[in-house]
Amino acid sequence: MAITHCGDWGITRDSRYKAWGKKVTADRVNLTARSGGFALGGDWVKWDDSVAIGNGEYLVVAAETGSRKSHSYRYRLIAGGEVARLIEEAERQAVIAAALAAGDITEGDMARQENDRLYEYALYISLVCSQTNVSPCEPNRTEELTAERAKLLQCVAEIDAELLLLREAAIAVEAEGEPSGK
């Protein structure tokens, strides 16, 4: 599980304007909401607070930037896991385009995500989580999977030890069967 801050992702906060983060999981995404901001259900994160985001969890970061006359929001989508990573636009658009080609979303969804960055994030999260067999979108599975991995590694170590004993026994038997005149 990665620990991060809203300000770690290339957006400089301007104290004159709003800045926020939201921790989101797929089960809190609502694609029928009236606007993209409402499509992302989750817990609010203050700009300066640390937040832990695991597998299947995302952090949406937003900050208003610019001059008093002309300012707008800048957004980032960060995926959780062992290491948090920024989800770039090219990756989001590739997933969404593939879903459109497969018939998983409509032209209306496509048009809406082109005009609403937060809806795009919600659509991406929903699609990624629905396309995985072992869903990384189930929060807090990291601990369960880590424990399972440790058990499997222990089994492999036991098998390796038994194989080593069998090899040594086979070498000993082979050495006994060889004529001593060689």
Contact criterion met (CB below 8 Å) for 88 and 71: no
Query: pLDDT tens across 73-100, in order?
Result: 888 899 988 888 888 888 888 888 888 8
Same domain, 145 and 134: no
Answer yes or no: do 116 and 175 share one domain: no
The residue segments making up the domain with residue 158 are 140-182
The token duo for 23 is 């921790």
Q: Which of 45-49, 101-105, 124-128, 152-156 has the lowest mean pLDDT?
A: 152-156
| Location of structure tokens 């259900």 | 41
Q: Kindly give, in sequence order, each residue whose CB lies less than 8 Å from that of residue 46, ignoring residues fewer than 6 positions away.
A: 6, 20, 21
Q: Coil, strand, or helix at residue 1?
A: coil
> What pLDDT is recorded for position 36?
64
Q: What is the pLDDT of residue 49?
A: 84
Domains of the chain: total: 2
| Structure-block tokens of residue 89 | 């636009």
Residues 123 and 95 in one domain: yes
Place of tokens 């004993």: 165
Residues 152 and 90 in one domain: no
| 178 or 55, which is more confident | 55
How long is the chain? 182
Give which of 101, 113, 100, 86 is closest to 31, Cα–Cα. 113
pLDDT at 133: 45
pLDDT band at 2 (very low <50, low <70, confident <90, very high): low
Q: Are residues 42 and 64 in the same domain?
A: yes
